[in-house]
Amino acid sequence: MMNLCMAMVTGDRLVRLAPVDLVIVVFYFVLVLAIGFYLKGRSNTGEDFFLAGREMTAWIAGLSFLSANLGALELMGWAAASYQYGILAAHWYWIGAIPAMLFLGLVMMPFYYISKTHSVPGYLKLRFGESSRALSAICFGFMTVLMSGINMYAMALVMKVVLGWDINFSIWVSSLTVAVYVTLGGLRSAIFNEVLQFILIWAGALVIPVMGLIEAGGWKALQLKVAANASVEYTHLWSTLGSFKDNPMGIHWTGIVFGLGFVISFAYWTTDFLVVQRVLAAKDLRAAKMAPIIGAAFKMFVPFIVILPGLLGLAVLPMKLTGEAVAVATGGHSYNEVLPLMLARYCGPGLLGLGITALIAGFMSGMAGNVSAFSTVWTYDIYKALIKKTATDAHYVLMGRWSTILGVLISIGTAYLVMSFLSIMDYVQALFSFFVAPLFGTVILGMLWKRATAAGGFWGLLAGTVSSVGMWAWVKIDPTALRYVALSSDAKDMAENMYRGLWSWIICVVVTVAVSMVTKPKPESELVGLVYGATVIPTEAQVPLYHKPAFWAVIVAIVFIALNVMFW
């Protein structure tokens, strides 16, 4: 039997689509646009447009919550990371997500939901005042459209490499499609399409691990092949983390547990408005608490379609994949191509089209998440708060539609900017991480500590962000500083990010506490609905056990622990 992935590397593309594949891709575009047009009439008020009428069930909000994060670059990037670093990449799906998602559902969601805020910066305004909101909203809005543009460019590049499509064609067709359905139907349309995209991602990607495991001869045989082709450490999750030098990622368990598992993960999953917005659209508090728990349950199994294909690539692909620079110099394939290579290996006409549709769906769900979050933060936390404070609801909805289009256009502009200055990509990824870790420090103290003051919140957030930028610049200027920032000169980029996040969070918390202790707190009457101890959380005593979010969170936690032990 001939290896298709070798045969399909023809000319300037990795795979060639058959007519049936194109029909599947075109049908997908038609369907998402149809959903946008169908929902157009149901997004006339601010509550409808920005919060989907707050009527999403726990399942829809939960799947949307996960789908907004499950972008194509996420799929391809982590498959590449698992080829490069082995099963360690699964930490970003397990300890780097599950505890934080459960914490969001059980502890933080009541405050977000009961306060009736439209956004995370909106919560900061209620808890700490206008200055904290303005700082977080401007940083978030700026970074969101930048990230969206970078993802757009990267995806167009993937389409060029995999399918030979023109970069301009990919950028404009996919981004305008997103612009149309989000502008028409607002968050409701984004959420509906994200749920559809989530199902398509699984439908398109599930074939790879199933076929791969059949070819490899099961998990045990896969482990032996990976050990022979790479190293035995590639299939162990924890046992190699005792030393920076013992694992392919150059990271210590403290970085994974405290940097990733605590700060980075909690920061992203509990304060990044891109994902939190989906849960705010839940129909009631119980649905809002259940949504992240449902998301966590599905998140645990995403490594099956992302990490496993990377490991299978190590075991069964006949060629050795390399870094991007080496691949370009030698005409070989890079780590980033492992998922398309595996797709081409097992998927004939039809299945290939569904797999490509899954990648496009992943890209569009990520982009829709970015632009809908940008639109809300721009309209409520920047435009309404700082520019036009009094206007009708219809005016703000119109502004929301225009800012969606504007967000897409800025994203497209960023994509072309990145095309000219590729190094921007590294910087913006880092820039985004500067803000998220300290934001978590500010929000968590605001929710759990009544004594935290407005001045404490603002200066803590600012100090954490500035110190994060400072540490990043320090290592850029003097690479030997890595041994201080990341505790080891052997630390790789990912390890550095973990420790930088941890330090900036600690600095934010210390400054917030110190400033709060010397400034005057708000009276408790003003903290009702915002802070633990000053808020009455509706009791669930009369609810059957199987309807309680805490019950399902315990089930998810048990499975999470079991998975970590199984792959220790």
Partner 1 sequence: MRADGTISIWFFIGVSLLVNGVLIFGAGLYQISHPPAIKVVLYDLHASVWWGAVLAIVGAIYCICYNPARA
| CB distance 237 to 478 below 8 Å | no
User: Which residue lies nearer to partner 1 by CB, 130 or 215?
Assistant: 215
Q: Is 8 in the site for partner 1 (CB under 8 A)?
A: yes
- Tell me which of 83, 112, 153, 192 binds partner 1, using CB under 8 A: 192
- Collapsed DSSP state (helix, strand, coil) of residue 334: strand
Rounded CA separation 554/106 (Å): 11
Stretch that binds partner 1, among 20-28, 433-441, 489-497, 548-556 (CB under 8 A): 20-28
Cβ burial of 320 (10 Å; 0-12, 13-18, 19+) is exposed
To 5 degrees, how large is the angle CA 274–CA 259–CA 557?
A: 70
Q: How many residues does the chain have?
A: 568
Asked if residues 282 and 61 have their Cβ atoms less than 8 Å apart, the reply is: yes
Q: How far apart are CA 373 and CA 271, in angstroms?
A: 12
Structure tokens at 378: 């721009």
**385-391: which pairs have CB atoms within 8 A and are 24 or more residues apart?**
385/125, 385/130, 385/133, 385/134, 385/137, 386/134
Which residue among 87, 200, 408, 553 contacts partner 1 (CB under 8 A)? 200
Q: Cα–Cα distances in Å, from 347 out to 70, 75, 160, 351, 469?
A: 22, 17, 19, 5, 44
Q: Interface with partner 1 includes 42 (CB under 8 A)? A: yes
Q: At residue 341, what is the residue type?
A: L
Stretch 345-384: interaction string toward partner 1, x if CB under 8 A:
xxxxxxx-xx--x---------------------------
In angstroms, give the least distance from the CB of 235 to partner 1: 22
One character per residue 201-230, x = contact with partner 1 (rule: CB under 8 A): --x---x---x--xx---------------
Q: Closest CB to partner 1 among 1 and 422?
A: 1
Options 26, 31, 394, 561; binder of partner 1; rule CB under 8 A: 31
**What secondary structure does DSSP assign to 183-200, as a single string?**
HHHHHHHHHHHHHHHHHH
Residue closer to partner 1 by CB (options 350, 538) is 350
How far is residue 553's CA from residue 560's CA, in Å, rounded to a whole number?
Answer: 10
Give the tokens for residue 319.
């060629």
Closest contact distance (angstroms) between CB of 346 and partner 1 is: 6
Nearer to partner 1, 103 or 192 (CB): 192
Nearer to partner 1, 359 or 428 (CB): 359
Instruction: Give one DSSP letter per residue of 417-442, joined into a string.
Output: HHHH-TTHHHHHHHHHHHHHHHHHHH
The 305-344 contact track toward partner 1, x by CB under 8 A, reads: -----------x---------------------------x
Return the number of the residue (105 or 185) whose C-beta is nearest partner 1.
185
- Please state, in angstroms and as integers, the Cα–Cα distance from residue 393 to each residue in 187, 350, 372, 379, following that order: 16, 46, 17, 11
Which of 210, 386 has the CB closer to partner 1? Answer: 210
> What binding mask, one character per residue, do residues 502-521 give for partner 1 by CB under 8 A, x or -?
--------------------
To partner 1, the closest distance from the beta carbon of 326 in angstroms equals 25
Task: Name the residue among 171, 153, 166, 174 with its Cα closest to residue 425.
Answer: 153
Q: Which residue of 137, 196, 302, 471 would you call a contact of partner 1, by CB under 8 A?
A: 196
Closest separation in Å from C-beta 86 to partner 1: 23
Cβ proximity to partner 1, 28 vs 560, nearer residue: 28
Among residues 35, 124, 205, 415, the one that binds partner 1 under rule CB under 8 A? 35
Residues that bind partner 1 (CB under 8 A): 1-5, 7-8, 18, 20, 23-24, 27-28, 31, 35, 38, 42, 60, 192, 195-196, 199-200, 203, 207, 211, 214-215, 316, 344-351, 353-354, 357
